């Protein structure tokens, strides 16, 4: 619930919080487990927040998955319910707009940090670097679907594991 209450800007900010709290802070997950959770979150429909469900499952099975899912989404529903009565006033407030600009800048910084964490976890060898380069090229040059690129990367990883290299 703490992470769900603090998220702002993008689901990828979740990765920064999970890394800081569960990998580095508490040692409940390895960096590899976090990376796998992000990959699962990318493959499932819906927001990247499904990563939290996978992390909950890793830590405590089905009950952990349920608790993590409720915990990641519940604060947002609460904030929306609380903000409805003051939404018009907030939309007109210069001070609120400036605060949101600051939150957006902080979220952008966290996204940059997440990029570094994910790169460090995946760009470990020539194959990982080649997959990342090919995906970037396909995304930028031909506008390939990110979901398709994630699926192809996962299949290449599975094929690599199958041949044992």
- Rounded to whole angstroms, the Cα distance separating 86 from 17 reads 29
Residues of the chain falling short of pLDDT 50: none
Structurally, the chain folds into a number of domains equal to 1
In a domain, 45, yes or no: yes
In a domain, 155, yes or no: no
In a domain, 162, yes or no: no
Q: What is the pLDDT of residue 142?
A: 93
Q: What is the pLDDT of residue 35?
A: 80
In a domain, 118, yes or no: yes
CB under 8 Å, gap of 24 or more: what pairs does 34-37 form?
34/117, 34/121, 35/118, 35/121, 35/122
In a domain, 141, yes or no: no
pTM: 0.57
In a domain, 137, yes or no: no
Q: What is the pLDDT of residue 66?
A: 94
What is the distance in angstroms between the CA of the first residue and the CA of the last residue of the chain?
Answer: 40
Q: What is the pLDDT of residue 65?
A: 92
The whole domain housing 31 covers: 2-122
Characterise 107 by phi-psi region: left (phi > 0), alpha (psi -120 to 50), beta (else).
alpha
In a domain, 135, yes or no: no
Q: What is the pLDDT of residue 46?
A: 64
């Amino acid at each position: 619930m703490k992470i769900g209450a603090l998220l702002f800007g993008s689901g990828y900010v979740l990765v920064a919080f999970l890394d800081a709290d569960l990998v580095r802070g508490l040692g409940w997950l390895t960096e590899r487990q976090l990376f796998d959770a992000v990959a699962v979150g990318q493959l499932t429909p819906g927001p990247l927040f499904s990563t939290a469900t996978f992390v909950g499952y890793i830590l405590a099975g089905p009950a952990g998955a349920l608790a993590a899912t409720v915990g990641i989404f519940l604060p947002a529903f609460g904030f929306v319910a609380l903000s409805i009565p003051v939404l018009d006033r907030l939309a007109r407030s210069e001070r609120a707009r400036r605060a949101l600009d600051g939150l957006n800048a902080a979220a952008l910084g966290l996204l940059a940090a997440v990029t570094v964490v994910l790169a460090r976890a995946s760009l470990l060898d020539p194959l990982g670097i080649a997959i990342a380069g090919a995906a970037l090229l396909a995304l930028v040059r031909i506008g390939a679907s990110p979901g398709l690129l994630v699926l192809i990367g996962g299949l290449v990883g599975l094929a690599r594991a199958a041949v044992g290299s």
